[in-house]
Every structure is written in structure tokens, then in C-alpha cells.
């Protein structure tokens, strides 16, 4: 939307944002997530992930950020291209039909590096 070309590469658990049957059910990981600032012993308690997910959803609603499906659609409609990591797709036994329609292709990371040549690559 700012006039910049954007290519997004989804791998491992980031794929959940573009897999049709998971994109509306993304949960917040409370164990092994340093951004949560929750000690592992507390994060692993039963119900902590559900609690953190609920709190995060409320904060997202306050900021008027659309749900994942709608957000993915908006980003793609603005011109961004979406790619799924071929190795991860194969490892998780997924195929093109498992993804939302906004996923443009399933490609190896080397191909993504070619597409991103000269651009800024941001890993999150």
C-alpha cells in the first residue's frame, strides 16, 4: 500500500497463517516464546496458551486489526505476493489445496532469495 513490492515467505509454524483450516485458529505459544516474557514453568501450565491467546485477541480487537483471513486478503490485494516454503510443505505433508487462495506458489527458499534479490529480507 506504500508503493513497495513485498514478497512474504511462510515456513514452519508461520504457515498456519495461510493454511485454510488453521488460519482462524492460531494460538499464542507461551513456552519457548521470549517475546511473552513468561517463565517456562508458568507458560507450560494448563490453559496458559488459551489465556494468552484470549488476551491477545482482545488487544488486537482494541487496535481494530482484522482477523488473520481478512488481513491476509488485504495484504495480498494490495499487491504482496505470498509463498510457502516447499521443504516445510513437504515435511508437514501439505499441498497447494491446503492453502488459502492468496498463496501464489510453493517454492524452495533458494527461489525466494532470487525473488528477493536486492530487497530487504526480514525474518520474524
Residue 90 has pLDDT above 70, yes or no: yes
Mean pLDDT of 75-91: 96
Between 93 and 117, whose confidence is greater? 93
Whether the pLDDT of residue 1 is over 60: the answer is no
Our count of domains for the chain comes to 2
Residue, of 5 and 94, whose pLDDT is higher? 94
Q: What is the pLDDT of residue 4?
A: 76
Q: Tell me: do 51 and 108 sit in the same domain.
A: no
The Cα diameter of the chain in Å comes to 45
72 and 113 belong to one structural domain: yes
User: Do residues 52 and 36 make contact, with C-beta atoms less than 8 angstroms apart?
Assistant: yes
**Which pLDDT value is given to residue 45?**
92
* Cα radius of gyration (the chain): 16
CATH of residue 117's domain is 3.40.1260.10
Are 35 and 90 part of one and the same domain?
no
Q: Quote the CA–CA distance of 14 and 12 in Å, as a whole number.
A: 5
pLDDT more than 90, % of the chain? 69
52 plus 71 within the same structural domain: no
For residue 41, the enclosing domain spans 25-64
Instruction: Classify the C-alpha dihedral 80-85-89-90 as positive or negative.
Output: positive
Q: Are residues 35 and 20 in the same domain?
A: no
**Distance separating alpha carbons of residues 114 and 109, to the nearest angstrom:** 9
DSSP H stretches of helix in the chain:
40-43, 48-62, 68-77, 86-91, 109-115
Domain match, 82 and 123 both: yes
For the CA atoms of 60, 65, 69, 71, the dihedral, rounded to the nearest 10 degrees, stands at -140
pLDDT-derived band at 120 (thresholds 50, 70, 90) equals confident
103-118 pLDDT, tens digit each:
999 999 999 989 888 7
pLDDT tens track for 37-54: 888 889 899 999 999 999
Amino acid at each position: 500500500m506504500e508503493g513497495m513490492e513485498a514478497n512474504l515467505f511462510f515456513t514452519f509454524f508461520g504457515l498456519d497463517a495461510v493454511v485454510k483450516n488453521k488460519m482462524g485458529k492460531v494460538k499464542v505459544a507461551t513456552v519457548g516464546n521470549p517475546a511473552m516474557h513468561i517463565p517456562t514453568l508458568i507458560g507450560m501450565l494448563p490453559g496458559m496458551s488459551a489465556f494468552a491467546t484470549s488476551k491477545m485477541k482482545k488487544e488486537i480487537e482494541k487496535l481494530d486489526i482484522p482477523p488473520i483471513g481478512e488481513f491476509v486478503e488485504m495484504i495480498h490485494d494490495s499487491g504482496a505476493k505470498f509463498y510457502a516454503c516447499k521443504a516445510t510443505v513437504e515435511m508437514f505433508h501439505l499441498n497447494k489445496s491446503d492453502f488459502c487462495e492468496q498463496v501464489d506458489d510453493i517454492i524452495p527458499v533458494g527461489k525466494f532469495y532470487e525473488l528477493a534479490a536486492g530487497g530487504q529480507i526480514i525474518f520474524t
